[in-house]
Structure 1
Amino acid sequence: MTAAFDLQSIALPTGVTLDVAVAGDPANPAIILLHGFPESHRTWRHQIPELARTHFVLAPDQRGFARSSKPAEVSDYTPDKMVADLAALADHFGIATFTLVGHDWGGAIAWMAALTRPDRVERLIIVNAPHPYVFQKTMFDDLRQREASQYIRAFRNPEFEKHIQSIGLSAFFDSSFLRHTDFANVADEKPIYLDQWGQPGAMTAMLNWYRASAIIVPEMDETPERPAFLNAPFPPLKQPALVIWGLKDAALLPSQLEGLDTLVPDMTLVKVDAGHFVPWEAPEAVTSAIQEWLG
């Protein structure tokens, strides 16, 4: 099957060049889709052609992933850098405001972009990605979520790439997905993942997203000081938001939805019978939820 989109290489003033899947009529309303770890624009392979019927669709391979630029420093992967990439990408296409969709790490960037750039993000769609306040709070108050997030501590270990090297990318693929999805869901994509992960510097760049994050993930028996922002009011989201949540997610537990309605006053919640990788585990459910909500 031929791809239903162009993959364009776009140099941004933020200093990175990103590969971007582009589909649909530029005269239509814009929608930007942000993938998470350890993926690429292909997270959205089922949604792009459907959304392109009514929208101008952009789905970048974010910095550090696939064949997009991989800056060398951990500090190049703090979330504000990706928010800047997003704004620059919209500027490149002359897009003033857009609907923003994010899954996993892409969703973390989408939350931040919507909170800090309400002038650009008109509507927000989140697919299994934790709100920054809720996620940090559950690291302290929900030991099950803390346990489910211990992999972040492993990813932050500077020796982790040596572990991947010792087992090989194929075994890392099997271990990273088989805990979260049925292998049949990703078997066809495996060669694409291995090609993307095998690009020079890709694995370190992808892991640097975790290393650059300010989120505190305590050890299981640790009681570090609570971040001050957890004890202060957190600004509610101004935009309407659709939250699509796969309830079988082993990495992000249902506690991520607790109190979310207060932080997101104009929220529509759609629960899906799927695991973490909802966009391709339950593609029809995700696409139809987005289309219905966009109206």
Structure 2
Amino acid sequence: MRQELRSLSTGITMNVAITGHDDAPPAILLHGFPESHRTWREVEKRLEDRVRLIMPDLRGFGQTDRPAGVEAYSTETLVADIFALADELDVERFTLVGHDWGGAIAWAAALRGNPRVERLGIVNSPHPLIFQKSLVEDEAQRAASQYITAFRDPGMEAAITRMGFDTFFDKSFSKHVDLARISSDERARYIADWSRPGALTAMLNWYRASQIFVPPMGEETVMPDWVERGLPKLHMPVRVIWGIEDKALLPVQLEGMGEVGDDVEVFPLKGVGHFAPWEAPDKVADALAPFLAGN
């Protein structure tokens, strides 16, 4: 695997990890919060002989630029980064795969109907319509998502700084992953990324820029207008891989998933939580391999 810094037409320099044969089918893999391209470190080892894997540090994360201001993290801008990266690498058509926030951007890119996205792979990242409906209608999901409101608080950076990055690391991952599975070297890599000037604010700005509405607990609320209007149906093949033990995104997110597109397959992973690429790289790679190869 090699890493490259690429200047994009969207005005940022993006760090990109690339592996696999140049003439293999290309796939762009997007990580989530609070990670980097290293989300895929175990999965890519199992796929690199069959697929050209392009794994960026997304805007604000890892070694990629961290623009100031919430407006720099709008969905439109984040989607534009992905197509700008494809342009920079001379990749015309590709499969797009995303986990967590990376999945949110993958959903958004696919929903815009750009034919360059040939297939969509999702790992524990909810369809925006299903997610927003569940935040209004499902009490358990609303409770599980209150952290989003906390992350939007302008005092969150100071709170994390006070607790220290080691504690933040444990709080971020301990509910989802056995910390014994994470080496001291990996922990150090993540903390080094978070410690870069402006990194914490940049990562949290993904939450602040999002249009997802999280109602307070116990409060009756109406469904946002955009939910009533609906979203386009997807026409490319979609493969959803889901760790069923996810504590942040509950199984309610799979209800109606088969109806969001013409060709949707769901692969539930029993005994696996939110960070499925860490916890079960074999299962994730097995589910992705034939899909990414176009089979």
Which band: TM-score by shorter chain?
over 0.9
Q: Does 1:53 align with 2:49?
A: yes
1:118·1:239 contact (CA, 8 Å) conserved in 2?
A: no
Q: Deviations over 1:209-266 (max 9, x none)?
A: 0000000001002223321122234321111011000000000000000011111230
* Aligned-partner Cα distance in 2 for 1:103–1:234: 20
Q: Gaps (5+ residues) in structure 1?
A: none
Structure 2 equivalent of residue 249 of structure 1: 246
Secondary structure in 2 matching 1:242: strand
Segment drifting more, 48-57 vs 170-179: 48-57
Structure 2 equivalent of residue 173 of structure 1: 169
Q: Does 1:275 align with 2:273?
A: yes
Q: TM-score, normalised by structure 2?
A: 0.96
2:31·2:100 contact (CA, 8 Å) conserved in 1?
A: yes
Shift of 1:280: 1.1
Segment drifting more, 266-275 vs 249-258: 266-275
Structure 2 equivalent of residue 135 of structure 1: 131
Structure 2 equivalent of residue 217 of structure 1: 214
Q: Deviations over 1:7-58 (max 9, x none)?
A: 1111101011111001122222110000000000000011223322122210
Q: Deviations over 1:186-215 (max 9, x none)?
A: 244211111111111111100000000000
Q: Deviations over 1:90-142 (max 9, x none)?
A: 01111111001100000000001111143110000000001010000001010
Secondary structure in 1 matching 2:161: helix
2:127·2:253 contact (CA, 8 Å) conserved in 1?
A: yes
**Residue correspondences, number:** 291
Segment drifting more, 225-234 vs 127-136: 225-234
2:37·2:55 contact (CA, 8 Å) conserved in 1?
A: yes
Segment drifting more, 224-233 vs 238-247: 224-233
Residue type matched to 1:221 in 2?
Answer: G
Shift of 1:268: 1.1
Structure 2 equivalent of residue 160 of structure 1: 156
2:195 to 174, 184, 198: 198
Q: TM-score, normalised by structure 1?
A: 0.96
2:88 to 61, 85, 92: 92
Residue type matched to 2:193 in 1?
Answer: Q
Segment drifting more, 90-99 vs 110-119: 110-119
Structure 1 equivalent of residue 73 of structure 2: 77
Q: Does 1:34 align with 2:30?
A: yes
How has the CA–CA distance of structure 1 residues 9 and 119 changed in structure 2, closer, same or farther, with 3 Å as cutoff? same
Residue type matched to 2:189 in 1?
Answer: I
Structure 1 equivalent of residue 21 of structure 2: 25
* Aligned-partner Cα distance in 1 for 2:229–2:209: 24
Secondary structure in 2 matching 1:37: coil
Residue type matched to 2:274 in 1?
Answer: H
Q: Gaps (5+ residues) in structure 2?
A: none
Structure 1 equivalent of residue 110 of structure 2: 114
Secondary structure in 2 matching 1:71: coil
Shift of 1:175: 1.0
Percent of aligned pairs with the same amino acid: 49
Q: Deviations over 1:67-99 (max 9, x none)?
A: 210000101011111110100110111111100
1:247·1:272 contact (CA, 8 Å) conserved in 2?
A: yes
* Aligned-partner Cα distance in 1 for 2:217–2:150: 13
Secondary structure in 2 matching 1:268: strand
Structure 2 equivalent of residue 232 of structure 1: 229
